[in-house]
Amino acid sequence: MLERPIPIVPTLRGKTVVNLFFEPSTRTSTSFAIAAKRLSCDVVNFSRVASSVQKGETLLDTTRNIEAMRVDGVIIRHSCPGAARFLAKRINAFVINAGDGAHEHPTQALLDAFTLLQKIKTLEKKKILILGDIAHSRVARSDIWIFKKLGAEVSVCGPPTLIPPYIEEEMKVKVYFDLDKALPGMDVINVLRLQLERQKRGVFPSLREYRRFYCLTEERLKKAKKDVIIMHPGPLNRGIEIHPDVADGKRSVILHQVRAGVAVRMAILFLLAGGKIEKEKRE
Ligand code: CP
Protein backbone atom coordinates (compact mmCIF):
# COMPACT_ATOMS: atom_id res chain seq x y z
CA MET A 1 0.00 0.00 0.00
CA LEU A 2 2.89 2.32 0.83
CA GLU A 3 4.06 2.08 -2.80
CA ARG A 4 0.74 3.39 -4.18
CA PRO A 5 0.55 6.96 -5.57
CA ILE A 6 -1.95 7.86 -2.82
CA PRO A 7 -0.81 5.77 0.17
CA ILE A 8 -3.81 6.27 2.42
CA VAL A 9 -6.93 4.23 3.18
CA PRO A 10 -9.97 5.08 5.33
CA THR A 11 -9.77 1.87 7.40
CA LEU A 12 -9.35 3.49 10.83
CA ARG A 13 -11.27 6.72 10.21
CA GLY A 14 -12.68 8.02 13.50
CA LYS A 15 -10.09 6.21 15.65
CA THR A 16 -7.50 8.06 17.73
CA VAL A 17 -4.18 6.90 19.17
CA VAL A 18 -1.73 8.74 21.41
CA ASN A 19 2.03 8.46 21.02
CA LEU A 20 3.02 8.50 24.71
CA PHE A 21 6.80 8.64 24.58
CA PHE A 22 8.63 9.22 27.87
CA GLU A 23 12.00 8.52 26.22
CA PRO A 24 13.43 9.96 23.01
CA SER A 25 12.65 8.28 19.70
CA THR A 26 12.97 9.04 16.01
CA ARG A 27 12.06 5.82 14.18
CA THR A 28 9.42 4.29 16.43
CA SER A 29 7.41 7.41 17.23
CA THR A 30 7.54 8.76 13.67
CA SER A 31 6.71 5.44 12.03
CA PHE A 32 3.76 4.88 14.37
CA ALA A 33 2.51 8.39 13.51
CA ILE A 34 2.92 7.75 9.77
CA ALA A 35 1.35 4.29 10.07
CA ALA A 36 -1.69 5.79 11.83
CA LYS A 37 -2.05 8.55 9.24
CA ARG A 38 -1.83 6.04 6.35
CA LEU A 39 -4.85 4.30 7.91
CA SER A 40 -6.71 7.63 8.48
CA CYS A 41 -6.36 7.17 12.24
CA ASP A 42 -5.90 10.41 14.19
CA VAL A 43 -2.65 10.49 16.12
CA VAL A 44 -1.70 12.81 18.96
CA ASN A 45 1.94 13.16 19.94
CA PHE A 46 2.40 13.54 23.69
CA SER A 47 5.43 15.51 24.79
CA ARG A 48 6.70 14.56 28.24
CA VAL A 49 8.58 17.82 28.69
CA ALA A 50 5.50 19.93 27.89
CA SER A 51 3.14 17.81 29.99
CA SER A 52 2.00 17.70 33.62
CA VAL A 53 4.43 14.82 34.21
CA GLN A 54 6.83 17.69 34.87
CA LYS A 55 4.55 18.66 37.80
CA GLY A 56 4.73 15.17 39.29
CA GLU A 57 1.70 13.50 37.69
CA THR A 58 2.03 9.70 37.70
CA LEU A 59 2.12 7.51 34.61
CA LEU A 60 -1.26 5.99 35.47
CA ASP A 61 -2.94 9.35 36.13
CA THR A 62 -1.51 10.78 32.93
CA THR A 63 -2.76 7.83 30.90
CA ARG A 64 -6.19 7.70 32.57
CA ASN A 65 -6.66 11.38 31.76
CA ILE A 66 -5.71 10.78 28.15
CA GLU A 67 -8.06 7.79 28.02
CA ALA A 68 -10.87 9.96 29.43
CA MET A 69 -10.60 12.01 26.21
CA ARG A 70 -11.86 8.87 24.41
CA VAL A 71 -8.72 7.66 22.73
CA ASP A 72 -8.73 4.14 21.33
CA GLY A 73 -5.11 3.26 21.89
CA VAL A 74 -1.90 4.27 23.60
CA ILE A 75 1.56 3.65 22.19
CA ILE A 76 3.99 3.89 25.08
CA ARG A 77 7.76 4.08 25.42
CA HIS A 78 9.01 4.27 28.99
CA SER A 79 12.24 3.69 30.88
CA CYS A 80 10.57 1.27 33.33
CA PRO A 81 10.44 -2.42 32.33
CA GLY A 82 6.80 -3.54 32.42
CA ALA A 83 5.32 -0.04 31.95
CA ALA A 84 3.22 -1.08 28.95
CA ARG A 85 1.89 -4.18 30.70
CA PHE A 86 1.14 -2.12 33.83
CA LEU A 87 -1.07 0.20 31.77
CA ALA A 88 -2.66 -2.59 29.72
CA LYS A 89 -4.02 -4.11 32.91
CA ARG A 90 -5.51 -0.83 34.11
CA ILE A 91 -7.04 0.94 31.11
CA ASN A 92 -9.54 -0.09 28.45
CA ALA A 93 -7.74 1.47 25.50
CA PHE A 94 -5.32 -0.90 23.76
CA VAL A 95 -1.66 -0.47 24.68
CA ILE A 96 1.31 -1.02 22.38
CA ASN A 97 4.76 -1.41 23.89
CA ALA A 98 7.16 0.86 21.96
CA GLY A 99 10.06 -0.06 24.26
CA ASP A 100 10.13 -0.52 28.05
CA GLY A 101 13.53 0.10 29.58
CA ALA A 102 16.02 -2.65 28.79
CA HIS A 103 13.20 -5.21 28.72
CA GLU A 104 11.40 -5.55 25.34
CA HIS A 105 10.84 -3.75 22.02
CA PRO A 106 8.31 -6.06 20.34
CA THR A 107 7.44 -3.95 17.31
CA GLN A 108 11.15 -3.63 16.48
CA ALA A 109 11.42 -7.42 16.60
CA LEU A 110 8.43 -7.78 14.27
CA LEU A 111 9.90 -5.33 11.76
CA ASP A 112 13.33 -7.00 11.99
CA ALA A 113 11.80 -10.40 11.29
CA PHE A 114 9.65 -8.94 8.47
CA THR A 115 12.75 -7.35 6.89
CA LEU A 116 14.62 -10.66 6.98
CA LEU A 117 11.66 -12.61 5.61
CA GLN A 118 11.50 -10.16 2.70
CA LYS A 119 15.22 -10.59 2.06
CA ILE A 120 15.80 -14.31 2.64
CA LYS A 121 12.26 -15.80 2.66
CA THR A 122 12.78 -18.02 5.72
CA LEU A 123 14.69 -17.90 9.01
CA GLU A 124 14.61 -21.69 9.43
CA LYS A 125 18.19 -22.81 10.32
CA LYS A 126 19.63 -19.36 9.50
CA LYS A 127 22.51 -18.26 11.70
CA ILE A 128 21.91 -14.84 13.26
CA LEU A 129 24.48 -13.01 15.36
CA ILE A 130 23.35 -10.19 17.67
CA LEU A 131 26.42 -8.08 18.35
CA GLY A 132 27.21 -5.58 21.08
CA ASP A 133 25.47 -4.28 24.17
CA ILE A 134 23.14 -7.21 24.87
CA ALA A 135 22.76 -6.42 28.57
CA HIS A 136 21.06 -3.05 28.08
CA SER A 137 19.20 -3.90 24.88
CA ARG A 138 15.43 -4.36 24.71
CA VAL A 139 15.88 -5.08 21.00
CA ALA A 140 18.16 -8.05 21.76
CA ARG A 141 15.61 -9.69 24.04
CA SER A 142 12.67 -9.23 21.64
CA ASP A 143 14.74 -10.24 18.61
CA ILE A 144 15.96 -13.43 20.29
CA TRP A 145 12.36 -14.49 20.96
CA ILE A 146 11.14 -13.88 17.43
CA PHE A 147 14.18 -15.17 15.55
CA LYS A 148 14.15 -18.41 17.54
CA LYS A 149 10.38 -18.78 17.09
CA LEU A 150 10.95 -18.56 13.33
CA GLY A 151 13.58 -21.32 13.47
CA ALA A 152 16.85 -19.35 13.44
CA GLU A 153 19.99 -20.31 15.36
CA VAL A 154 20.76 -17.21 17.41
CA SER A 155 24.15 -16.24 18.87
CA VAL A 156 25.21 -13.16 20.78
CA CYS A 157 28.64 -11.55 20.93
CA GLY A 158 30.06 -8.77 23.07
CA PRO A 159 32.34 -8.09 26.02
CA PRO A 160 31.55 -10.32 29.05
CA THR A 161 30.33 -7.27 30.99
CA LEU A 162 27.65 -6.60 28.34
CA ILE A 163 26.35 -10.19 28.07
CA PRO A 164 23.83 -11.16 30.81
CA PRO A 165 25.12 -14.32 32.55
CA TYR A 166 21.71 -16.07 32.30
CA ILE A 167 21.28 -15.61 28.57
CA GLU A 168 22.89 -18.83 27.32
CA GLU A 169 20.91 -21.06 29.68
CA GLU A 170 17.57 -19.23 29.73
CA MET A 171 17.28 -17.94 26.18
CA LYS A 172 19.17 -20.82 24.55
CA VAL A 173 21.60 -18.72 22.55
CA LYS A 174 25.28 -19.33 21.87
CA VAL A 175 27.62 -16.78 23.45
CA TYR A 176 30.82 -15.45 21.88
CA PHE A 177 33.20 -12.95 23.43
CA ASP A 178 35.55 -12.93 20.43
CA LEU A 179 33.96 -11.30 17.36
CA ASP A 180 36.46 -12.79 14.91
CA LYS A 181 35.44 -16.27 16.05
CA ALA A 182 31.71 -15.44 15.88
CA LEU A 183 31.61 -14.08 12.32
CA PRO A 184 32.29 -17.12 10.08
CA GLY A 185 29.11 -18.77 8.80
CA MET A 186 26.66 -16.09 9.99
CA ASP A 187 23.79 -15.28 7.61
CA VAL A 188 22.79 -12.13 9.49
CA ILE A 189 24.60 -9.77 11.86
CA ASN A 190 22.38 -7.48 13.90
CA VAL A 191 24.58 -4.77 15.40
CA LEU A 192 23.24 -3.09 18.52
CA ARG A 193 23.78 0.44 19.71
CA LEU A 194 26.12 0.83 22.63
CA GLN A 195 23.61 2.19 25.17
CA LEU A 196 25.87 4.61 26.98
CA GLU A 197 22.91 6.31 28.71
CA ARG A 198 21.86 3.03 30.41
CA GLN A 199 25.33 1.98 31.57
CA LYS A 200 25.60 3.00 35.19
CA ARG A 201 29.28 2.17 35.67
CA GLY A 202 32.28 1.54 33.45
CA VAL A 203 31.56 -1.79 31.78
CA PHE A 204 34.57 -1.58 29.47
CA PRO A 205 37.80 0.42 29.77
CA SER A 206 37.22 2.93 26.94
CA LEU A 207 35.29 3.51 23.72
CA ARG A 208 38.60 3.11 21.90
CA GLU A 209 38.98 -0.36 23.29
CA TYR A 210 35.35 -1.27 22.53
CA ARG A 211 35.83 -0.11 18.95
CA ARG A 212 39.04 -2.13 18.62
CA PHE A 213 37.42 -5.42 19.62
CA TYR A 214 33.76 -5.09 18.63
CA CYS A 215 33.29 -2.44 15.91
CA LEU A 216 31.97 -4.11 12.74
CA THR A 217 34.36 -2.98 10.00
CA GLU A 218 34.84 -3.99 6.36
CA GLU A 219 38.12 -5.61 7.38
CA ARG A 220 36.36 -7.77 9.99
CA LEU A 221 33.57 -8.62 7.56
CA LYS A 222 36.08 -10.43 5.36
CA LYS A 223 35.69 -13.29 7.88
CA ALA A 224 31.91 -13.43 7.27
CA LYS A 225 29.88 -14.83 4.37
CA LYS A 226 30.00 -12.63 1.26
CA ASP A 227 26.21 -12.14 1.26
CA VAL A 228 25.82 -11.64 5.03
CA ILE A 229 22.97 -9.24 5.90
CA ILE A 230 23.82 -6.32 8.19
CA MET A 231 21.10 -4.93 10.45
CA HIS A 232 21.00 -2.21 13.10
CA PRO A 233 17.87 -0.98 14.89
CA GLY A 234 19.25 2.59 15.11
CA PRO A 235 20.21 5.11 16.18
CA LEU A 236 23.80 4.39 15.10
CA ASN A 237 26.95 5.28 16.97
CA ARG A 238 28.90 5.55 13.74
CA GLY A 239 32.50 4.46 14.12
CA ILE A 240 31.90 2.88 17.54
CA GLU A 241 29.80 -0.29 17.08
CA ILE A 242 29.61 -0.09 13.28
CA HIS A 243 31.90 1.51 10.71
CA PRO A 244 30.11 3.93 8.33
CA ASP A 245 31.29 1.90 5.30
CA VAL A 246 29.43 -1.13 6.69
CA ALA A 247 26.36 0.81 7.80
CA ASP A 248 26.01 2.40 4.35
CA GLY A 249 27.36 -0.56 2.37
CA LYS A 250 25.56 -2.89 -0.03
CA ARG A 251 24.95 -5.59 2.60
CA SER A 252 23.20 -3.19 4.95
CA VAL A 253 19.39 -3.32 5.27
CA ILE A 254 19.22 -0.63 7.93
CA LEU A 255 16.96 1.75 6.01
CA HIS A 256 14.89 -1.17 4.73
CA GLN A 257 14.22 -1.95 8.42
CA VAL A 258 12.99 1.60 8.94
CA ARG A 259 10.62 1.37 5.95
CA ALA A 260 9.38 -2.03 7.10
CA GLY A 261 8.60 -0.38 10.44
CA VAL A 262 5.79 1.65 8.89
CA ALA A 263 4.17 -1.39 7.25
CA VAL A 264 4.47 -3.56 10.35
CA ARG A 265 3.06 -0.84 12.60
CA MET A 266 0.17 -0.29 10.19
CA ALA A 267 -0.61 -4.00 10.52
CA ILE A 268 -0.47 -3.78 14.33
CA LEU A 269 -2.77 -0.73 14.42
CA PHE A 270 -5.14 -2.38 11.97
CA LEU A 271 -5.42 -5.50 14.13
CA LEU A 272 -5.88 -3.60 17.40
CA ALA A 273 -7.88 -0.52 16.39
CA GLY A 274 -9.81 -2.41 13.72
CA GLY A 275 -11.31 -4.54 16.48
CA LYS A 276 -9.83 -7.81 15.26
CA ILE A 277 -8.30 -8.72 18.64
CA GLU A 278 -10.33 -8.82 21.87
CA LYS A 279 -8.92 -7.35 25.07
CA GLU A 280 -7.94 -10.71 26.63
CA LYS A 281 -5.97 -11.72 23.56
CA ARG A 282 -4.25 -8.30 23.34
CA GLU A 283 -2.41 -9.00 26.59
N1 CP B 1 14.91 1.47 16.81
C2 CP B 1 14.38 2.39 17.62
O3 CP B 1 13.64 2.09 18.57
O4 CP B 1 14.71 3.68 17.28
P5 CP B 1 14.13 4.98 18.01
O6 CP B 1 14.71 5.00 19.41
O7 CP B 1 14.60 6.14 17.18
O8 CP B 1 12.65 4.86 18.07
Q: Return the CATH number at 52.
A: 3.40.50.1370
Residue (of 198, 247, 255, 260) closest to 221 by Cα position: 247
* Nearest protein Cα to ligand 1, atom 3: 28
pLDDT of residue 254: 98
In a structure prediction context, what are the per-residue pLDDT tens digits for the chain, which is 283 residues long? 888 999 999 999 999 999 999 999 999 999 999 999 999 999 999 888 888 999 999 999 999 999 999 999 999 999 999 999 999 999 999 999 999 999 999 999 999 999 999 999 999 999 999 999 999 999 999 999 999 999 999 999 999 999 999 999 999 999 999 999 999 999 999 999 998 776 666 788 889 999 999 999 999 999 999 999 999 999 999 999 999 999 999 999 999 999 999 999 999 999 999 866 666 666 6
C-alpha 132 – ligand 1 centre gap (Å): 16
The reply to whether 3 falls in a domain is no
Q: Does 268 lie in the same domain as 233?
A: no
Question: Which atom of ligand 1 lies nearest, measured to the CA of 77?
Answer: 8
Residue 6 lies in a domain: no
Q: Is 229 helix (H, G, I), strand (E, B) or coil?
A: strand
Domain count, the chain: 2
Residues 166 and 208 in one domain: yes
| 1 within domain boundaries | no
Judge whether 7 lies within some domain: no
Domain-embedded: residue 230: yes
Task: Report how far apart, in Å, the C-alpha atoms of 98 and of each of 120, 176, 207, 210 are.
Answer: 26, 29, 28, 28
The reported pLDDT for the residue numbered 280 is: 62
- Which protein residue's CA is at the shortest distance from atom 5 of ligand 1? 25
Other beta carbons within 10 angstroms of residue 204's beta carbon come to 18
Q: How far is CA 161 from the centre of its chain?
A: 22
Q: Are residues 148 and 222 in the same domain?
A: yes
For ligand 1, pick from 22, 23, 26, 192 the residue to mutate: most ligand atoms within 8 Å of CB.
Answer: 26
Distance 79 CA to ligand 1 centre (A): 13
- Quick one: 75 and 45 in the same domain? yes
Dihedral of the alpha carbons of 110, 281, 269, 256, in degrees to the nearest 10: 0
Domain range for 35 is 16-101+259-282
The answer to whether 16 and 273 have CB atoms below 8 angstroms apart is no
- Ligand 1: atom nearest CA of 99 is 3
> Ligand 1: which atom is nearest the Cα of residue 29?
8
Query: In this predicted structure, what is the pLDDT of residue 195?
Result: 83
Are 157 and 228 within one domain?
Answer: yes
Give the residue whose CA is nearest to atom 6 of ligand 1: 25
What radius of gyration, in Å, describes the C-alpha atoms of the chain?
Answer: 19
Residues 6+ apart with CB under 8 A from 249: 218, 230
Quick one: 66 and 153 in the same domain? no
236 and 274 in a single domain? The answer is no
Residue 38: per-residue pLDDT: 96
- Tell me how far the alpha carbon of residue 26 lies from the centroid of ligand 1, in angstroms: 6
The rounded Å distance from CA 25 to ligand 1 centre is: 5
- The pLDDT value recorded for residue 49 is 84
- Is there a single domain that holds both residue 236 and residue 122? yes
* Residue 11 is assigned to a structural domain of this protein: no
In a domain, 8, yes or no: no
Residue 174 CA, ligand 1 centroid: distance in Å:
26
Q: Specify the ligand 1 atom closest to the Cα of 234.
A: 1
136 and 193 housed in the same domain: yes
**Cα(30) to centroid of ligand 1, in Å?**
9
Ligand 1 pocket by C-beta < 6 Å: which residues? Answer: 25-28, 99, 105, 108, 233-235
Decide: 28 and 77 in contact? Cβ < 8 Å: yes
Say whether both 215 and 146 belong to one domain: yes
Q: Are residues 59 and 131 in the same domain?
A: no
How far, in Å, is the centroid of ligand 1 from the Cα of 234?
Answer: 6
* Protein residue closest via CA to atom 4 of ligand 1: 27
User: Is residue 10 one of the residues assigned to a domain?
Assistant: no
Residue 223 and residue 169 share a domain: yes
